[in-house]
């Protein structure tokens, strides 16, 4: 199972009603091509270590909506303390999916510490997170997603993936920057929720 | 100033500044506060814990807060973070790479550890770097030292952050901290 397979299966198991916060790196183009509905439903934060925290805030703000954090081992390892907050708060509408290849693949495949003895599932369990599981096959991933996305509780799925980056043609690569992403995400949330998140300043 | 490291009172009356602080949050429609608690605003955390309409989420590192508040903002919820001013240093990386890179507003409230008259030797460095750091980050900030200014300062902070799509910071001292004086 490779990263693009996780993106494809996650896209198939979620809907246009869901919201996503993703990491940067190899997942960007894979998820851009597999996100449900081709909607502006994903904020890809431009920093390792803030994916799950951003998803937590979104899940708290919109408790009736499913939120999925698309994490990576490098991002998770950058800021493991967030697992303790997730374990304390246990937002029932949040699912964390970690793409764990044991590598910083985008920058030349230097190993991450999950390639040694660090076990993200065990760390998450120890931090109090619920429904923590490892999967390494497409069938197991699909089954675990169906479970954690429908049980109404926090879920934490570590997808053990093989190295390998999908090379997308230019017309299928994500072309937006962080500011445009934010505005597109805001307008999507506004349409989805029927709320106003940001209105330009009044002329007073 | 009373013993700052005394265990926060879980029951009993809160000091005036803490009551006014929670009232200011409520008036500004703040529904979420993320914090790594410290001592200068300790009664504020007790007050928020008691407030059924404001959720208090504790983190283990201030670096978790810009992300969490960005998520809340994108979901349409007013939220702010409260830390000691030392927490600014921990939060620098997500401020630069998330708040700045995506132009996401962020309202930070920090206690002014190391303000003039600071009795703790370890607190002075926090004040020495706070102003230069906020200036380097190009984050507008205001020092709030009067209880009467709390409500308007919190509301203005949200207006400024939202209109500029940029972080702002309120620095609490004087009447607006534990055992403080004008």
Report pLDDT digits (tens) over A60-94: 999 999 999 999 999 999 999 999 999 999 999 99
pLDDT bucket at A202, cuts 50 / 70 / 90:
low
Residue B7's pLDDT is 42
Alpha-carbon span A173 to A161, nearest angstrom: 21
Q: Has residue A201 got a pLDDT over 90?
A: no
Q: Is residue A198 in some structural domain? A: no
Q: Which residues of B touch A50 (CB under 8 A)?
A: 63-64, 66-67, 70, 94, 97-98
Alpha-carbon span A13 to A128, nearest angstrom: 25
Alpha-carbon span B21 to B47, nearest angstrom: 9
Q: Give the 3-state secondary structure of chain A.
A: CCHHHHHHHHHHHCCCCCEEEECCCCHHHHHHHHCHHHCCCEEECCCCCCHHHHHHHHHHHCCCCCEEEEEEHHHHHHCCHHHHHHHHHCCCCEEEEEEECCEEHHHCCEECHHHCCCCHHHHHHHCCCCCEEEECCHHHHHHHHHHHCCCCCCEEEEEECCCCCCCCCHHHCCCCCHHHHHHHHHHHHHHHHCCCCCCCCCCC
Which residue is associated with the tokens 């967030």?
A: A82
What residue in A sits closest to B55 (Cα-Cα)? A60
Residue of A18, A20, A47, A62 for testing the chain B interface, max B β-carbons within 10 Å:
A47
Query: Minimal Cα–Cα distance from A64 to chain B, Å?
Result: 11
Contact A81/B76, CB-based, under 8 Å?
no
Contact A53/B64, CB-based, under 8 Å?
yes
pLDDT, tens only, B65-78: 999 999 999 999 99
Residue A204's pLDDT is 56
Residue B12's pLDDT is 77
Taking the CA atoms of residue B39, residue B45, residue A83 and residue B170 in that order, the dihedral angle to the nearest 10 degrees is: -80
Q: Has residue B182 got a pLDDT over 60?
A: no
Q: Is residue A199 in some structural domain? A: no
Average pLDDT in chain B: 93
Residue B2's pLDDT is 44
Q: How many CB pairs under 8 A join A and B?
A: 135
Q: Across the strands, what pairs with B84?
A: B111
Q: Is residue A110 in some structural domain? A: yes
Contact A79/B102, CB-based, under 8 Å?
no
Q: Which residues of A touch B33 (CB under 8 A)?
A: none
With an 8 Å Cβ cutoff, the interface of chain B facing chain A consists of: 32, 34, 55, 57-61, 63-77, 79, 93-94, 97-98, 101-104, 162-163, 165
Question: Do B37 and B45 touch, CB atoms closer than 8 A?
Answer: yes
Q: What distances in angstroms separate CA B174 from CA A95, B43, B92, B95, B119, one per listed residue? A: 43, 15, 26, 27, 14
Q: Is residue A201 in some structural domain? A: no
Question: Do B86 and B61 touch, CB atoms closer than 8 A?
Answer: no
Alpha-carbon span B127 to B141, nearest angstrom: 14
List the single residue in B55, B66, B163 with the smallest CB-CB distance to A60.
B55
Q: Has residue B8 got a pLDDT over 80?
A: no
What residue in A sits closest to B81 (Cα-Cα)? A57
Alpha-carbon span A142 to A9, nearest angstrom: 7
Expressed as residue numbers, the domain containing A78 is 3-193
- What are residue A28's phi and psi, to 5 degrees? -55, -60
Determine the 3-state secondary structure of B52 from DSSP. Answer: coil
Alpha-carbon span A202 to A87, nearest angstrom: 41
Residue A194's pLDDT is 97
Contact B67/A89, CB-based, under 8 Å?
no
pLDDT bucket at A107, cuts 50 / 70 / 90:
confident
Residue of A19, A23, A60 for testing the chain B interface, max B β-carbons within 10 Å:
A60
Alpha-carbon span B171 to B142, nearest angstrom: 6
- Total domains in chain A come to 1
**How do beta strands B79-84 and B141-144 pair?**
unpaired
Residue B179's pLDDT is 87
> Region A160-185: what's the mean pLDDT?
93
Contact B64/A81, CB-based, under 8 Å?
yes
Domains of chain B: 4-180 (3.40.50.970)
Q: Is residue A203 in some structural domain? A: no
Q: Is residue A109 in some structural domain? A: yes
**How do beta strands A110-111 and A103-104 pair?**
antiparallel
Contact A85/B75, CB-based, under 8 Å?
no
pLDDT, tens only, B126-178: 999 999 999 999 999 999 999 999 999 999 999 999 999 999 999 999 999 99
């Amino acid at each position: 199972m490779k990263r693009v397979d996780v993106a494809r299966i996650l896209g198939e198991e979620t809907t246009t009603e869901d919201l996503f916060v993703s990491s940067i790196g190899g997942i960007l183009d894979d998820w851009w091509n597999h996100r449900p509905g081709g909607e502006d439903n994903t904020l890809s934060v431009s920093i390792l270590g803030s994916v799950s925290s951003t998803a937590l805030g979104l899940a708290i703000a919109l408790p009736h909506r499913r939120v999925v954090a698309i994490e990576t081992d490098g991002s998770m390892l950058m800021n493991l303390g967030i697992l303790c907050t997730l374990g304390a708060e246990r937002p029932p509408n949040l699912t964390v999916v970690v793409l764990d290849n044991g590598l910083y693949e985008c920058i030349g495949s230097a190993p991450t510490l999950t390639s040694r003895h660090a076990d993200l599932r065990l760390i998450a369990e120890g931090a109090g997170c619920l429904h923590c599981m490892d999967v390494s096959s497409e069938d197991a991933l699909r089954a675990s997603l169906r479970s954690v996305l429908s049980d109404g509780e926090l879920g934490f799925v570590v997808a053990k993936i093989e190295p390998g980056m999908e090379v997308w043609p230019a017309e299928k690569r994500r072309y937006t920057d962080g500011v445009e992403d934010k505005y597109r995400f805001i307008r999507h949330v506004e349409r989805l929720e029927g709320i106003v998140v940001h209105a330009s300043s009044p002329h007073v | 100033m009373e013993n700052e490291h005394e265990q926060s009172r879980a029951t009993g009356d809160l000091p005036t500044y803490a009551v006014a602080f929670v009232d200011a949050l409520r008036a500004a429609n703040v529904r979420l506060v993320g914090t790594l608690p410290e001592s200068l605003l300790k009664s504020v955390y007790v007050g928020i814990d008691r407030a059924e309409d404001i959720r208090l989420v504790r983190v283990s590192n201030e670096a978790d807060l810009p992300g969490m508040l960005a998520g809340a903002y994108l979901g349409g919820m007013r939220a702010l973070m409260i830390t000691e001013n030392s927490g600014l240093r921990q939060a620098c990386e997500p401020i630069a790479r998330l708040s700045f890179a995506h132009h996401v507003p962020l309202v930070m409230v920090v206690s002014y550890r190391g303000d003039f008259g600071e009795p703790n030797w370890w607190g002075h460095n926090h004040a020495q770097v706070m102003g230069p750091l906020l200036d380097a980050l190009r984050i507008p900030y205001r020092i709030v030292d009067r209880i009467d200014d709390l409500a308007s300062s919190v509301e203005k902070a949200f207006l400024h952050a939202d209109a500029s799509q940029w972080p702002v910071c309120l620095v609490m001292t004087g009447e607006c901290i534990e055992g403080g004086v004008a």
